[in-house]
Chain A
Amino acid sequence: MKNTDGNNTIIEKDYRLPDLLVNLMMHLNFWMLLFIVFIMYHALWGYVHEGSALSFLMNSRHIPARPFESILSSGLLYACLLLLLTTETDPGIHFLLKLIAETIIVIVLSGIMSFCYMGMFLMIIANLIRRPIGRWNRNITFVLVGVCYFLLESQILSIWIPVTDFSDYLNYYGSDYAKIFQGIINVGRLFNVFLFMCYMFFIVRIQMSENERILSLNEQLRDANAKLEEYSEKSALMAQTSERNRLAREIHDTIGHSLTGIVTGIEACIMLFDTNRELVKEQLMAISEVAHRGMEDVRRSVRALKPDGLERMPLDLAIEQMIDEMRRSTGIRFHYNCVVDLRDAFGEDEAEALYRTVQEGITNSVRHGKPQDIWIMINKIDDVINIIIRDNGCGCPDLNKGFGLSHMEERLQMLDGKLYCDGNNGFLLRAEIPIRWGTEVNWNHDQNTDS
C-alpha cells in the first residue's frame, strides 16, 4: 500500500508541467486574440478617419462585424471558453455537449479574427487528451475537432463562411508594418504549436512511465504469487507430516500400547496354560480388559482424528453448518427442508451414514453439475428415512457410479439402505435408510463425555 501511495504522488507531480504548458497556451492565445482584434479595429478606425472606407469595402467585399460588439464579445467568449476548458465533466453526453460548445466558441472566435489564427483549437485538443474519457467518445471527438481544425486551418471553410480577409485590414498599414504584424501572428501561431508539441511530449512520457510502472507491478505480483504457491505447497507438506506424526503417535500410544499388553499377556498365558489354568484365566481376563480399553482408546483416537462437524455437534446442527459452509464457499442457493427431528434419534453409524450421504450428495452435485440451486429434503416414511438431493445443474445422462457413489452405496447397504440416482434434468439422488428407532443411545452419551 505504501508503495502505490508513493507512486500516485509522483504522478500528481508529473502532471504539473503539462498543466503549466496549457496555462501558457491559454495566456498566449489570449494575447493573440487581443493583438489581432486590436489590429483589425485600429485598421477600421484608420480607414474611416482616412476617408477610404469605400475603397476598403470595395476590396474586402464584405461587411466587417461591428467593432465595439465584436471586441467585447470576443473577450467574453474567451472567458467563457476558459471556464469550460477548466471544468471537469463526467464522460458521456455532458462531456460531448461541453466539447461542442467549446468548438463552436472557438470557431466564432476564429471567425471574429477573420480565420487568420486558429490556435485555440489546440487548447481544446490538449484538454481532450488530458481528460479520461470513454474510447468511443474519444474517437468521435478527435475526429470532430480535428476536422474542424483542418477545415479552418486550410481555409477551405472561408468559401462558405464569408469573412473580410485579414490582409484587407493589414493593407491599411504600410507594407513594412503589415509584414511585421503578420510576422508577429506567425510567431504566435508557431509558438502555440510548439507549446502544444511540448505538452504532447510530456503527456506521452507520463503515459509511458505509467505503463512501465504497471509492468513492474505485474512482475512483482507474479513473484509474490510464485512465492505464495511454494509456501502453500510447503505448508501442505508440513501439515501432512505433522498429521502422519500424530497418527503414528496415536497408533503407538493406543493400539501399540494395548497390543503390547495383549501380546505379552497372551505369551504369559501360553506359558502358564499347562501349569496353572486358573492363572491363565485371570490373565486372559486382564488381557480382555486391556483389549477393551485399547478398543476404547482407538475409538477415541479415531474420533479425535476426524475433523468433521459431526463429532463436535448434534447431527441436525452439523448438517445445517455443512450446508451453510457450502453455500458460502460455492455461492449456490441451497433449499434445505427437514421434517424429521434429527437430534439424538439415531445410532452413531446411522447418523454417520445420514451425514455422509448428504455431504457426498452435495459434493457430487457441486463438483459435476455446476448448478445454481440445490434442494435437500429429509423425511420419514414408516421407519425409513428418505434423503432426496436434487439440483438444476447439467446432470449426468450416462450415469457411471464413481468412487464417491459406490462408497456411499456400500455404506448404505451395511445398514440395509438403498441408493437411487437419476442424471436427467439435473441430478437427483435418493437414499433410503431403515432406522432402528430407540435401540441405541450409548453413542450420544459417549460423545457427551468425550467432549
Chain B
Amino acid sequence: MTERDNKKIKYWLSLFILIIVIFLTTDWWRSIPFHQKNVLTVGVFSDSYWNQQNGNQHKFIDSVIEKYEEQNPNIKVVYEKGILKDDYSEWLAEQIIQGTAPDVFIVIPEDFNMLRDIGALKNLDSMIQKDEDFDAGAFYEAAYSAGEADGVRYSLPVECAPDLMFVNRTILQNEGIELPSSKWTWEDFYDICRKVTKDTDGNGTIDQVGVADYSWEEAFASNNVTLFNKEGTESNFTDEKVYNALMFLDQLDVLYSGSGSADISFEHGNVAFWPMNFSSYRTYLNNPVHASRYADFDWDYLTMPAGPDGDNASILDLISIAMYSGTPMQNEAWEFIKLLTCDEDIQAGIFEFSEGISVCRDVTEAELVKENEMLPGMDESPNIETLEYTMQNAIFTHRFSGFNEAVNAVDTGVSEILKSDANIRMEQVIQARSINNFLKTIHN
C-alpha cells in the first residue's frame, strides 16, 4: 500500500515539475492580463541614422509611444535610452543572447540578414493577411521591398532617404546650359561636365568643375549593377556593366582629377553637380547656418543620370522595424509596427524630428509641399515629381553581414583601377579576385 502511494506521489511530483518547466520556458502566459499593464519593449537607437546631429530621435519614438498608449491603455511601452547607432547591433545581439530581446525593434539594413538567419525576425505575412486595414500600396515600392527575403516579409520600412543629384543652377545658367530633364543620361551628364569644367578667372588652374564626389556606388547603381550575390559570398566585379561604369568614371576623372582642393566644393558655388543623400539635403534645409551658405547661388535637385545599361536609379537607404520571433505579444507588437509605419500623423513626424522622408508616398508628398512653402530660398516650383521619379527607380541593396567591409574592399579596388593606366578589363579581373577572397574571409 505504501509503495503504491509512493509511486503515485512520484508521478504527481514529476508531472508538477514538468508543468513548472513548461511554464518557465514558454511565454504564452505572459499574454494573460494579470490586472496590470502588459509591457511592450521596443529597441531603438537614440541618435540619427543619417549621421546628423539633431537630438530628436527620442522625441519621435516618444510621440509614437504616446499615441500607442492612448490607443491601447492596458499596455505600457518601454525602451532603453541612450544606445548609439554604432552600438545598436551589438546591444541587440546582447539582448537576444540574454533572452531579453525587445518585442519590436528597429533593424538597420546591415543587420537584417543576420537577424533573419538566426531566426530572430517574425514572419509578418500572416498578420498582414489578417489585417484588413493594412495597405502595402501606401509604401514606396523600393522601401517596401527591403523587408522581404525569399518571398517572406520580415520587416516594414520606417523612414528612408534616396540619393539625389544636386545641381547648381546658377553655373548652368551662366554657361547657357539648360537644366537637364529627369530622364537624363550619362552622356548628358558628361557633356555638361565637360562644358562647365574651366578656368573662369584665367589664373591657369581650373576653378569650376562639373561634379564632385560622384563615386562608383552611384555609377554602379545607375548602370544596374548587382555587385554581390544574395549571400554576399561572391562579387560580379568582372561584369560588362561594371566595365562600362568604370570607363565612365575614368572619363570623368580625366576632366578634373584635383578633387582634393579645398576651394572646389558645391558649397562654394563652383561645382555644378553633387550627389547627396536626401537626408543631408533636409538637414541643410532645416539648419539656418547651413542654409545661409547656399545663398549665393540657386540650386535644385535632379535624378541620377542613367547609365547605358540602367535607369535613373539612385541608392535608397532606410531603416525598418521588425518583430522579435519569440515575442508573446504578437498582436500588440503588430499594432505598434503598424502605427509606426502606416499612421499618417506619425509618419509626418519624421519630417519634424528626423532627416529621412516618410515611406508612405502620400505623407511624403504632402509634407514636402508644406516644407517648400516654408523655405523661400528654394526654387518656387516644388520638385515633387523629381522625388517621385527617383523613388520609383530607387534601388535598395540587401545587405549581408560584413557588407560595409565588402564595400570598402570594392572602394579600394575601384580607386586602384582608376589610378593605374593599365587596361581596365585586366585590372577588373585582378581586383575581382582580391574582392572575392576578401568576401570569403568575411564568411568564414
**Partner-B contacts on A (CB < 8 A):** 44, 47-48, 51, 53-54, 56-58, 60-70, 72-73, 76-77, 79-80, 83-84, 86-89, 101, 162
The reply to whether the CB of B370 lies closer than 8 angstroms to some CB of chain A is no
- Interfacial residues of chain B within 4-52, with CB under 8 A of chain A in the complex: 7, 10-11, 13-14, 17-18, 20-21, 24-25
Contact B25 A54 (CB under 8 A): no
From B94-102, B162-170, B344-352, the one touching the partner chain is B94-102
Contact B14 A56 (CB under 8 A): no
Report B-chain residues with C-beta under 8 Å of the C-beta of A63. 96-97, 118-120, 325-326
Report A-chain residues with C-beta under 8 Å of the C-beta of B20. 76
Report A-chain residues with C-beta under 8 Å of the C-beta of B7. 87-89
A-B pairs, 3 with minimum CB distance: A66-B99, A53-B93, A54-B93
Known contacts A66-B99, A73-B24; A61 and B93 CB within 8 A of each other: no
Q: A63-B97, A72-B24, A80-B17 are in contact. List 8 more A-B contacts (CB 8 A).
A: A54-B92, A54-B93, A58-B114, A62-B118, A63-B325, A63-B326, A76-B21, A83-B10
User: Which of the listed residues A65, A67, A83 has the most CB atoms from chain B within 10 Å of its own CB?
Assistant: A83
Contact A77 B21 (CB under 8 A): yes
The reply to whether the CB of B392 lies closer than 8 angstroms to some CB of chain A is no
* B69 CB to nearest chain A CB (Å): 27
Complex CA–CA separation, A57 to B121 (angstroms): 14
Report B-chain residues with C-beta under 8 Å of the C-beta of A54. 89-90, 92-93, 114
Report B-chain residues with C-beta under 8 Å of the C-beta of A68. 99
The reply to whether the CB of B117 lies closer than 8 angstroms to some CB of chain A is yes
Report A-chain residues with C-beta under 8 Å of the C-beta of B17. 76-77, 79-80, 83
Contact of A56 among B13, B93, B99, B326 (CB under 8 A): B93
Contact of A57 among B14, B18, B24, B97 (CB under 8 A): B97
The reply to whether the CB of B56 lies closer than 8 angstroms to some CB of chain A is no
Known contacts A57-B118, A69-B25; A86 and B94 CB within 8 A of each other: no
Complex CA–CA separation, A63 to B97 (angstroms): 7
The main secondary structure of chain B at its interface with chain A is helix
Contact of B118 among A61, A65, A70, A72 (CB under 8 A): A61
* A99 CB to nearest chain B CB (Å): 13
- Interfacial residues of chain B within 56-104, with CB under 8 A of chain A in the complex: 89-90, 92-94, 96-99
Contact A48 B120 (CB under 8 A): no
Contact B14 A80 (CB under 8 A): yes
Report A-chain residues with C-beta under 8 Å of the C-beta of B119. 62-63, 162
Complex CA–CA separation, A66 to B20 (angstroms): 16
Known contacts A44-B97, A63-B326, A88-B7; A57 and B114 CB within 8 A of each other: yes
Contact A83 B114 (CB under 8 A): no
Report the nearest B residue to A48, measured CB to CB: B94
Contact A57 B25 (CB under 8 A): no
The reply to whether the CB of B386 lies closer than 8 angstroms to some CB of chain A is no
Report B-chain residues with C-beta under 8 Å of the C-beta of A60. 118
Contact B25 A53 (CB under 8 A): no
Contact of B94 among A53, A101, A162 (CB under 8 A): A53
Complex CA–CA separation, A48 to B96 (angstroms): 10
Report A-chain residues with C-beta under 8 Å of the C-beta of B117. 61
Complex CA–CA separation, A89 to B6 (angstroms): 12
Query: Can you list 13 contacts pairing A with B, beta carbon distance less than 8 Å?
Result: A48-B97, A53-B93, A53-B97, A58-B401, A63-B118, A69-B25, A72-B24, A76-B17, A79-B17, A80-B17, A83-B10, A88-B7, A101-B14
Complex CA–CA separation, A62 to B94 (angstroms): 13
Complex CA–CA separation, A69 to B100 (angstroms): 12
Report A-chain residues with C-beta under 8 Å of the C-beta of B118. 57, 60-63
Report B-chain residues with C-beta under 8 Å of the C-beta of A84. 10, 14
Contact B93 A57 (CB under 8 A): yes
Report B-chain residues with C-beta under 8 Å of the C-beta of A69. 24-25, 99
Complex CA–CA separation, A72 to B14 (angstroms): 15
Report the nearest A residue to B326, measured CB to CB: A63
Report the nearest A residue to B90, measured CB to CB: A54
Report A-chain residues with C-beta under 8 Å of the C-beta of B13. 83
Contact B98 A51 (CB under 8 A): no
